[in-house]
Structures are given as structure tokens and as C-alpha cells.
């Protein structure tokens, strides 16, 4: 309110464009984010170059509420705002600064067919920060043994919950699970 009157702000917003509408339909065939792609890539580049994150980075999804009509609008029943645009976000654990972010635009044809979506997302988000001895914290959607091995090869560790029904996790009874946990703890010391 102190900067400009409300009507002036609305007038500016009505005429503000980030791209050329005449060529947008052509560009959306190869880039679903074409309407703001140039601005978005500048924002992400600035996020990566403007801040040097600490040792701990966390990765999760974020649903930004939106009522726009687009082909990549998501419905997530567990979120307070059910509809929106989903982003995969890597943040510095201490400062909560966004280090890297990717929009979820549906199926990605460039992703290798044998690779899990979760592993692809983590590796793409962490690419600028690998080989520097950092730690990634994730939830059970992202955490897997194969991802941990990929990250370890790039001098990065992972901390996350693991879904017990994953095929790569052996079925353990309580006594074996406790011994397994103690062995893991001893290995990390």
C-alpha cells in the first residue's frame, strides 16, 4: 500500500508478461513450463549461485496452491490446499533457504526407463552440491538403497526413513532388527 495504489498495481499486473504469447503454443510442445521458463531458470540459477548451503540439505515436495488451468496441476488429498503445482525442493536445513527447485510437470521423457522418479529427483536437485561431503535428509518416498549407493559414490550421505515394504529391505524379526541396527551404528562410528 505504501508503494503504490491498489488500482495501479492491478493495472500493472494485467499487462505484465514474461514471454511472447504468439510463440507459446509452439514452445509448449517441448516445454510445459514455457510461459515462465526464462524467468524460472533465472530464479533457480540465482538460488544455486547466491547461497552456499551448509553440510545438511533436506529434500521434499511442496504444493503451491493454484487455481490456474494447466496440464500439470496436481491433486494431493493430504495437503491443506488440495490443488496446486507440485515442486521438488532442496533446502538448507539450518537457514531454510531454497538451494534448488524443480517443478513436477508430469512424466519426464528424458528420465531413463529403469530409474525411479524419486532417485532422479534427488540426483537432479543435488547435482550442484555433490562431491562436497554433504548430507541429504529425505522422507520414505525418496530413500532407497540404490539412491544411497549413488550418493555415496559422489561423497554425499543420506539420512531418511525407509518404507518397510520396499523390496530391497530384508524382512527381519525383532531380535535380528536390533542386531542389524547395532551393526549399522558400529559401522558409522
More confident residue, 111 or 137: 137
CATH of the domain at 58: 3.30.420
Q: Does 168 reside within a domain?
A: yes
Has residue 23 been placed in a domain? no
Would 125 be classed as within a structural domain? Answer: yes
Q: Report the number of distinct structural domains present in the chain.
A: 1
Q: Print the domain residue range for 143.
A: 32-181
Higher pLDDT, 173 or 81: 81
22 in a structural domain? no
**pLDDT of 12:** 86
Nearest C-alpha neighbor of 86 from the set 101, 64, 70: 64
Q: What's the pLDDT score for residue 181?
A: 44
The answer to the question of residue 110 being in a domain is yes
**159 occurs within a structural domain:** yes
How far CA 34 is from CA of 9, 20, 24, 108, 125, in Å, comes to 25, 10, 7, 15, 20
Q: Is residue 4 part of a domain?
A: no
| Closest-CA residue to 95 (of 62, 138, 50) | 50
In a domain, 6, yes or no: no
pLDDT at 24 over 90: no
- pTM confidence score: 0.75
Amino acid at each position: 500500500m505504501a508503494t503504490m495504489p491498489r488500482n495501479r498495481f492491478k493495472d500493472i499486473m494485467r499487462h505484465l508478461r514474461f514471454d511472447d504469447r504468439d510463440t507459446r503454443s509452439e514452445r509448449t510442445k517441448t516445454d510445459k513450463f514455457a510461459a515462465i521458463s526464462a524467468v524460472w531458470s533465472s530464479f533457480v540459477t540465482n538460488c544455486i549461485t547466491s547461497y552456499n548451503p551448509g553440510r545438511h540439505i533436506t529434500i521434499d515436495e511442496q504444493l503451491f496452491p493454484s487455481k490456474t488451468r494447466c496440464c500439470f496441476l496436481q491433486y494431493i488429498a493430504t495437503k491443506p490446499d488440495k490443488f496446486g503445482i507440485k515442486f521438488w525442493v532442496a533446502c538448507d536445513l539450518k537457514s531454510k533457504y531454497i538451494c534448488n527447485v524443480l517443478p513436477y510437470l508430469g512424466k519426464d521423457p528424458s528420465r531413463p526407463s529403469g530409474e525411479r522418479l524419486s532417485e532422479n529427483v534427488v540426483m537432479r536437485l543435488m547435482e550442484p552440491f555433490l562431491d562436497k561431503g554433504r548430507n541429504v535428509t529425505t522422507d520414505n518416498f525418496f530413500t532407497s538403497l540404490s539412491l544411497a549407493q549413488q550418493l555415496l559414490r559422489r561423497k554425499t550421505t543420506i539420512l531418511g526413513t525407509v518404507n518397510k515394504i520396499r523390496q530391497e529391505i530384508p524382512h527381519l524379526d525383532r531380535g535380528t532388527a536390533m542386531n542389524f541396527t547395532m551393526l549399522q551404528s558400529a559401522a558409522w562410528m
